[in-house]
Structure formats: C-alpha cells, structure tokens
Amino acid sequence: MAGLIDALYWRDPEGITEIKARAAAHSDLRKVAVSEALGKIAVILACKGGGVAQITVGDCVELAEAKDKARGPRAGTNKSLFYLLLHSMGIFPEDAPAAVRVFGRARGQLSVEQLVDRYELACRPVRNVLVDYLRERQPQLDYNSLSQLSLILCKSFWADLEAHHPGIDSLRLEPAVATAWKERMRTKVRRVRQADGSVSEVRSPRLVAVEDMARVRAFYLDITQWAVDDPARWAAWAVPCPISEAEANFDKEVRRRKARMDQRTRERLPVLPRLVAAVDAERKLAAARLATARAASPGTAFSVSDERWHRPQLPHAHATWADDVQGLRRNLNIEESNAFWTWATVEVLRHTGVRIEEMLELSHHGIVQYRLPSTGELVPLLQIAPSKTDEERLLLVTPELADVLSQIVRRVRDTTGAVPRVPAYDTHEKVWLPAMPWLFQYPRGGERRRMTPGGIRHLLRRALTSLGLTGSDGAPQAWTPHDFRRMFVTDAVANGLPPHIAQIICGHKDISTTMGYKAIYPDEAIEAHRAFIARRRALRPGQEYRTPTSEEWDDFLGHFERRKLSVGTCGRAFGTACVHEHACVRCAMLRPDPAQRPRLEEIRDNLIDRIAEAEREGWLGEIEGLRISLTGAQDKLAQLDAANTRRRHAVDLGVPTFRQIAVGTSKAARP
C-alpha cells in the first residue's frame, strides 16, 4: 500500500502532502490507521483518476460498500478515517455527512412492507392484511413502537401459527389452535447446558405474555371496528377474537411487575453507596496506573497501590500496555477510559434519574444558567432533550453533579478547548441526529462517536461483576440504567420531596407513574407509627409515662394474682375495688372457668336447698338475696353451655339459597 501511495504522489503532490499534514496534526492517531487511510485514498485515486480535490462523497461510499462486500460490514464501514481526512479538507459539499458510517450499517427506518417481510410469512393475504393494519396504525406510533408491534403480530403471532400449523390461511382460529398458541405465548424455552455437557430445555413463564396478547386482541377488535366504516376493505377479515377480555387483562401483571420492581429497588438502594465508592476508587486507581505506566521507561517494572506491573518494550505501540503479575498484557488506556465512563454513568444516573437515552443526548449546550428574580443568584440547570414524552425539561444541578459534568467536559474537549460536534445515530428511531457537542462521546480510529445504550450497559455489567454483588436468591445482581431512575424517585420521595415535584423532575405525564417507581419500605410504616405515638404522648399527661417504682410494679403484678377466684377470674380494671362486696357469683365481671363447672353446679344446688329451707322456716329476709345469687349462678352456667355449643356446632347465618334469590324459575321438565 505504501508503494501505491508513493506511485500516485506525482499525480497530486499537494493534496497528498496536505492529507499527511492533517493526519499528523492528530497526535492520538496510530501510524497503522493513518497508513490504512492513505491507502484507501490511493485506491480511489487509482480507480477514479484525478487528484485529491476531485474525490467525491460517492467515491467514498463506493469504496466503503466494496469493502463491505469483500470483508463484511464491520470491517469497511467502521474504519472511516480516510473520509474524515478528506472531509476536513473542505472538498465535500456543506451538506455532506460528517462520517461515512451514515451510508453503512445504520441505514435508517424500514418501511411497513419491509418490517413485515422480515419474517417471511407464507400466507400472502394475511401478510397484506398485516401491512394494511400497520400502515393504518403508523401515524399514531413512533418507529420503535411500530417495529415492536410488527414483531408481535408478524413473528410472535402469525409466523408462530404458520410454523406449528402449516397451510393456515385464515384469522378465524379453531379453539384448539388458539389454545395451543396462547400456551406457547405464556412460556419461553431456554437451553441450559448441564454439568455433563448435555443441553436441556427449561420452560419458564414470559413476563410480557399478557401485554402481547392484548396487542393481538386489539388487532382483531380494530379490524372489526373498521369493518363497520369500510366494509369493502375490512369486512372479510372481521372474525371473532380468539383472546377473551380476561386473558388480555394485565392488571394483575401490573401489580406483579410493581412488586418485582419494588423488590429490585429494595435490594439495590442499600448497596448503591458501595457501587458508587467502588467505581470512584477504580477510576482513581486506573488513572494513577496509566500515569505511572507512562512515566515508566519501556522494559522496567513499576508499582501502583501495592500492584506490581511491568511495561513491555513495544516500539510501534500507540497505546500504553502493561503486564500484570499473572503475565496478562492489558491496555491501560482502554481500562482508564472504561473506568472513567463507568463512574460518570453511575453519577449522572443517580443524581438526575434520567432515562438512558436522555443521558446519552446530554450536550454541552444543555448546561445553562438561570438567574433567580428574587435574589439574583445564578442557578445551574441541565436541559433534558425531549425523549419518551416529547417534552423537554430542566433539572437543577447539584454541586456533586456539577463536579461530574465539569470533569466530563474537560475530558471530551479537543485541543481548541471546545467540545467537538459529533453526529449520532438514534438506535430507537433509526435516524441520524445532527452533529451536536454530546457529553458522552469517545474517540475511535480517529473519529469521535457518541456512546450507545449497549456500551453503557456493558460498562455497568463489568463494574458489577468486579464488585460481586448478589441478590436475595444468591445470584449475581443485574443492574440496568432504569434501576437508577427508580432508586432516584424512591430516595427523593422518602426524603420529603413532594410526589408532584418528583413527577416534574422525571418527566412523567401521570403522577401514578411516579408513585409506581417509588418502592414502599417497611421502615416508613414504623417511623409513621412511632411519630403517631410521640404525638399522642405529647397530648396526654406526662406522669402517665414515667418509670414505675418497684412498689408500683409489685402492686401491678399482685393485682393479677388477686383476681384469681375458685370458679374463674375477675375481670375488673386495675386499681379498682370490688363493687359487689365480693359477691362474685352475682358479678357480671366474673369470667367462669369451664374446669370449675362442678363447683358452680354445687353452688347452684346449695342455693336451691337454702331457698327451700328459708321458705320452710319462714326466713323471708334471706329468700330475696338467695334468689339473686341463684340467678347469677345459673347465668354463669348458661355462659359455659353457650361457649360449649359454639365450639361444637356451626351457626346458621340464614344466607339465602339460589332458589330464594332467583328472579324466575323455568317450568321445563328436568331430565
């Protein structure tokens, strides 16, 4: 390739010299990457003729596509340094893309026909109905929702039916076919490798099965409704829906999901400080490791924080490499970059509670200031670009968040002191965004790129793996960027932030969504109960809550001993005297003991004999008192009988039967 460059140097020496000068201005470029870029430019000159100034965007795209066919899409399109060097010369039109990747793998949105044809449906009439249905729904949905709906209707529904029932050509499903499909929708199959090397299939429930079936049910109901307005187009496909309303009702699933998410938040919020401390320590250690390795001479050993390293002699190495004590050669530049962006991701997510796509769309333009009209104080604000709800919002920048943002800005600045403007690809909407000074950007192969959601998740997984966190089931904890959003809401509301303010900060349209993010902790109920008790004690006399003396405590315990009687227990209150002058049989506070029933019967019989004796002897003054005592004894025996009856027999509450409440009866003869 070097010979080709030298051979073409005579054709345009000024252009080749300028390209080499622009490449040399980038000190972070590897010599291999510069040589490969110059070789690609030489290939274009050899094939198209002319000089460097005559190279067009189409020539670059043609070269990229040729390399895609020869070596695969990942080999040719990603290495776009040659295009960047040509673009920096100003030979392309002003509307030329900033990177040749625009013409590569990220080819934009697919049409409705392409979305459906991805799944190669055999029945063309049903395929056409699905295309028409998705086209009708397209104006109401964003591209990501439309793509998900096509996946459910085409792959999960109709492609699955064609795979298990070849030749099916009607939306009217037989009961057995519909039942089998719904059973497959409710479960998923995972292949697990056993210890002996064999692979077994494990079935587990699908958490989103009810929601997917609700979308299929909506597909049937929409066609039925549209058939009324446009029968010529939809009436032929208006058939009974195989999914009942109960099967598509996911209220219970919403409650289960809420319980699962609350459990995730309860498990992760207490260990969040450990994660924050771990990523911060790893960032500082990686930076110190890289700085020490750069200061060390090649072929010498160095140590950082009780770690022993050796820097090898690599004359053509662009990055800083070092060998650890196990002899593993590691790229310290990449490790330092990963450690920094892991720390930045954790800090931004936990301080703002933004979605991952909102975090990646943070730009240098979004850091603004607002002067309070009352005090004139300048308040830093962070502008969140519209995402899910299509509404932008402003967040107050705390001192901790301001420190993180300042370090990010210092890191991504170029040699001129400005944050480079980088084009970005929206992975959800499948469109290229205009070049912006994104905060989460990194250099790669001479080109700056914005970070992707997949890269952020990869950094979080690596940090959690090194930390070794486990959940309640003993398995390693898997964190997602959305977990930080739930923890932010839970922590904010628990510390006194009004829920409607948390709703505004999170950008929710409904406050119930915000409260759904909040995990309920048992200590909240405990603290509320303790506060209630404290308020109640403040309203009652203070002497009631003093520490009792030994004499008072002994008197309190002795009260329960003095309540024991021969036929039961006295139920009078503590500190009160007997109001019946110890005529316990007559007292309503006596709780008879079932084991003392013979003694009560003996007292009753004795009272009957004494009344008979008093009547015989003419002791009329004692008869009235004896009869009152006899009534009390008989009442205590009746209480014991009633208690025994309740234990042995069920009580008929008189609940009416169906025949008693039926509106009418049928006179048809029973078989």
Using a cut of 0.95, tell me whether the model's pTM lies above it: no
**Given pLDDT bands bounded at 50, 70 and 90, which one contains residue 181?**
very high
d(C-alpha 168, C-alpha 482), whole Å: 41
The residue whose two tokens read 């403007």 is: 421
**Given pLDDT bands bounded at 50, 70 and 90, which one contains residue 669?**
very low
Looking at residue 670, its pLDDT comes to: 44
Give me 208's structure tokens. Answer: 């989103």
What is the signed CA dihedral for 643, 646, 648, 650, rounded to 10 degrees?
180
- Helix (H) / strand (E) element for 570: namely strand 568-570
**Cβ atoms 78, 67 nearer than 8 A:** no
**Given pLDDT bands bounded at 50, 70 and 90, which one contains residue 665?**
very low
d(C-alpha 346, C-alpha 273), whole Å: 11
623 vs 323, residue with greater confidence: 323
47-101, pLDDT tens digit by residue?
887 788 888 888 888 887 777 677 654 444 446 778 888 888 888 887 777 777 7
Looking at residue 520, its pLDDT comes to: 65
Tell me how far the alpha carbon of residue 183 is from its chain's centroid: 27
- Helix (H) / strand (E) element for 441: namely strand 441-444
Q: Of 217, 209, 216, give the one whose Cα is nearest residue 257.
A: 209
**Given pLDDT bands bounded at 50, 70 and 90, which one contains residue 343?**
very high
**Given pLDDT bands bounded at 50, 70 and 90, which one contains residue 28?**
low
**Given pLDDT bands bounded at 50, 70 and 90, which one contains residue 227?**
very high
Q: Is the pLDDT of residue 626 over 60?
A: yes
Q: What is the mean pLDDT of the chain?
A: 83
- What's the CA angle centered on 259, arms 258 and 261, to 5 degrees? 65
Looking at residue 335, its pLDDT comes to: 92
Q: Which of 61-75, 187-201, 305-319 is least confident?
A: 61-75
Helix (H, G, I), strand (E, B) or coil at 10: coil
Kindly state the percentage of the chain with pLDDT values over 70.
87
Q: Is the pLDDT of residue 582 over 80?
A: no
Q: How many residues does the chain have?
A: 671
370-397, pLDDT tens digit by residue?
887 877 788 889 998 876 666 778 888 9
272-287, pLDDT tens digit by residue?
999 999 999 999 999 9
Q: Are strands 393-396 and 447-450 parallel, antiparallel or unpaired?
A: unpaired
Q: Which of 47-56, 124-133, 531-540 is least confident?
A: 531-540
What DSSP string runs through 317-358? --S-EEE-TT--EEEHHHHHHHHHHHHHHHHHHHHH---HHH
425-464, pLDDT tens digit by residue?
888 888 888 889 999 998 876 778 899 999 999 999 988 8
